[in-house]
Amino acid sequence: MPDDRTRPHVLMMSEITADGKLTLKRGASSKRLMKFMAPETEVLLHETRATCDAIMVGSNTIRIDNSFLTVRYIEGKSPIRVIPSSDASLPPDANVLKPDAPTVIAVSARAPADRVAALRAKGVDVIVAGDEHVDLPLLMQRLVEDYGVRRMMIEGGPTLNWHMLHHRLVDEIRLIHLPFIVGGEDTPSLVGGMRIDSEEEMIRLSLKAHYLCGTNLVTEYDVVYP
């Protein structure tokens, strides 16, 4: 369990094909895959969102999927939406900048002041964490201290997933398995960015549950850091 003074409990949740991919091809919206999720699984996703104080996705997912990240299929409170974007370069018409739920954009010190001001003018909070890139451990600490976030989920993409795992900030993983194979050498998979040379560097998981939700297999793991 994390030290709750420094970071929230973090659940990584994702829809994933049988070959581990998150979307049809590089640059394609995962919404094209998500429409094949069983209705019960969409409800599970929204129920999970409603149990979290915050939800985070990477800035590229916002550019490609234009996600809302709100609770819509059940009654429940939408979590705080958290988007790391080192240079504050989110599209001005992004859905997460609309006032459906509170939003925090995390930027680094190199983000141009005019872009930060434009984001704040839309009514979202901007946190500066890190010099060149968003410092994820520091961001986690700020979310606990300034926003009272105790439980957070991340919904990708692979770049953010890798950085969160690399910093040992993920406690649990929940996968919704979609019965498709899409192939593609450069098609985004659950975790990007990782190059390992030895078995010792593998991130180890402990399976804790598997069940059918509608027609989708769901698996749940704890992340086991040495």
Ligand X SMILES: NC(=O)c1ccc[n+]([C@@H]2O[C@H](COP(=O)([O-])OP(=O)(O)OC[C@H]3O[C@@H](n4cnc5c(N)ncnc54)[C@H](OP(=O)(O)O)[C@@H]3O)[C@@H](O)[C@H]2O)c1
Task: Summarize as ranges the residues that interact with ligand X (CB under 6 A).
Answer: 14-15, 22-23, 28-30, 33, 57-61, 64-65, 84-87, 89, 133-134, 136, 155-160, 163, 188, 192
Tokens of 51: 């149990």
CB closer to ligand X, 22 vs 75: 22
CB closer to ligand X, 15 vs 42: 15
CB closer to ligand X, 62 vs 223: 62
Q: What is the Cα–Cα distance from 191 to 162, expressed in whole angstroms?
A: 5
Answer yes or no: are the C-beta atoms of 34 and 21 closer than 8 Å: no
Q: What is the smallest separation between the CB atom of 118 and ligand X, expressed in angstroms?
A: 15
- Nearest in space to 127 (alpha carbons), one of 112, 113, 115, 143: 143
Answer yes or no: are the C-beta atoms of 143 and 56 closer than 8 Å: no
CB closer to ligand X, 56 vs 199: 56
Answer yes or no: are the C-beta atoms of 126 and 88 closer than 8 Å: yes
Q: What is the smallest separation between the CB atom of 104 and ligand X, expressed in angstroms?
A: 13
Q: What is the smallest separation between the CB atom of 8 and ligand X, expressed in angstroms?
A: 16
